[in-house]
Each structure stands twice: as C-alpha cells, then as structure tokens.
Structure 1
Amino acid sequence: MEYTLNIEIKIPRNQVVEKFNNEENMKHWQKGFVSMEHISGTKGKTGAISKLIYKMGKREIEMIETITLLDLPESFHLTFDAKNVYNIQENYFEELSNGNTKWISKNEFKFSGFMKLMGFLMPGAFKKQSYTYMEDFKAFAEEGKSVLDN
C-alpha cells in the first residue's frame, strides 16, 4: 500500500526542519510516543538505528527506525520495522514563495501475517494516522501546541 500526503506549515523551512529533526519534540506531535533508544550507527545520521516504543490503546508497539537518507533541509527518509508491518517513509520539505514550508510525506507499507488483512480491510486507517501526525506536527511547529496537553 502506497500513498503521499502533504501539508503546508506556516513557518520557514529551516524552523520546520529544526523542530522535525529534534527527537525531544517527538512526544509533542506523535500521540502515543513513549521512548526512543539509539541502537547503532551515528545518532541522527544516515544509517542510525533506534528502537521506538509507542502506546496505542492498551497495546505497546515496538519498532525499529532506520535513517536511510538524511539530506536536510530538503529530505529525510526512514524505515520503520514493527511486528508484521514494514513502513518506508520519504519526507520532503519545500520552501514556498510565501515563506511557508510544504511537507510532503510518501509512505509505503508492507504487511505480513494478521496485518495483511488489516492493511487490506482498513487501508484508510494508516493514511489517517499519518495525516494526524502531520496535523499535530503543524500545530506544534506553528503554535507550540503539544498532544501531551490533550
């Protein structure tokens, strides 16, 4: 399953990238984010591998994040490997003529096991979750709103 989403953020690209690339900010725009633990590679650089933990309802989800391309301020590509779900994500940040930033997120999901059925029956749920993260990042970047305040 593949899809592309985009959102306009009303601050300059350098500020967007600075906020996006700061792991301390993740808790403010990724609802359910619990922790991030660096595993290998140079932290924050291409090839770095980290373990992420999220709480979704009563379940705790663990995934391995790998930075596959770090070419800021233009792009930041990652993979996420969780039980029965593999996500390839390409993020692009475009400077707009009005001084704002367009964040484009290309996602590809590969499923196995039970998640194959979920991906088939509920493809919109993955797209909706991705866009919710984008909207929450926009609110955090523009207004300092945190999902922790909800």
Structure 2
Amino acid sequence: MTMQYTCEVEIAVARARVVELMADGNRAAEWMPGLASYRAVEGERGRPGSVSELRFDGVPGSGEMIEKVERRDEEHLDVVYLLGPVRNVVHNRFVELPDGRTQWTAEHIFHLPPGMVEGIGEQGQTGFRTNTQRSMETFKAWCEANA
C-alpha cells in the first residue's frame, strides 16, 4: 500500500545554498527537532549512494531510521528513509526563481505494510502532510537565518 502527498515552500535563499545546507548532516540537528544523532554508515553523508543512520529522541516518531541518498544535483535531492517496515521515498526538487529565491517541492511516497494505510486513516494522513509542511517551514526559517 502507498500513501503519497506533496508539500511546497519558497525560501529567500539561492538554490545552491539551500541544497548545500539541506545536505549538511553536521548541522541537521539545528533545524530537525529531536535529532539526537546523524551518523554516516556508508559513503560521504549527503552524497548519492551514501547511507546514514538518524536517531530521534523526545518527539513523536522517536527511534532510528536509515537514510539512503539516491540522487543529488543542483535541482534534486532524492532520499529513501527506512523505519521498520515503512519505506518513505522523498523526491525534493529545488527550482531557482527569477528573484533569487528557491521553490522547494517535496513529494513523499510512503510504502506501507498491508493494513497500515487503513489503520492511519484520513486524519492520520492529513497529520503526515501537516508535519511535513511544518518541518519545511522550520527548515526555511533556519535556512534564511543561516544563508
């Protein structure tokens, strides 16, 4: 079963800097609430082919997840997150706007075990989208303050 949604935000920072800041695992805890550790397991963190372990504490969804970077270029950052039986494929797209801002679009495709989508329900699915949008707004504010 899959659950899919897209969120979007505009950031008042040039695209190259946005992608650079997003891929910088050393600073991820500054904008990712509850991130306790972000450890490279394989390859250079944030680069295609890399595998990292993220551990979250004290927030809903606390625990460990694996991050696999599949693609990174000036316009895309495609990542797969694995958390138990859940696989979340995230296609991040960064479009440079004429005024120097960046439009960030994040498409999330959750691959869930049978019955989990029904168990989450429509309200839960809305919660996933709301949390993603909130996280994107948090990154936007942090990015604009650290550009």
Normalised TM-score (structure 1): 0.85
- Separation in 1, partners of 2:107, 2:43: 24
- Separation in 2, partners of 1:138, 1:58: 21
How many residue pairs get matched? 143
CA RMSD of aligned residues (A): 2.0
Contact kept in structure 2, 1:4 and 1:104, CA below 8 Å: yes
The one-letter amino acid of 1:22's match is D
Tell me the percent identity: 29
Tell me what 1:51 maps to: 53
Structure 2 unaligned regions, length at least 5:
none
Contact kept in structure 2, 1:76 and 1:92, CA below 8 Å: yes
SS, match of residue 17 in structure 1: helix
Tell me what 1:135 maps to: 137
Change (3 A) 1:59 1:140: closer
User: Deviation string for 1:89-133 (max 9, x for gaps)?
Assistant: 011111001111001111101222774412655101111111111
Tell me what 1:69 maps to: 71
Structure 1 unaligned regions, length at least 5:
145-150
Change (3 A) 1:115 1:83: farther
Tell me what 1:105 maps to: 106
Normalised TM-score (structure 2): 0.87
Instruction: List, as ranges, runs of 4+ consecutive aligned residues in structure 1 with deviation greater than 6 Å.
Output: none
Contact kept in structure 2, 1:111 and 1:119, CA below 8 Å: no
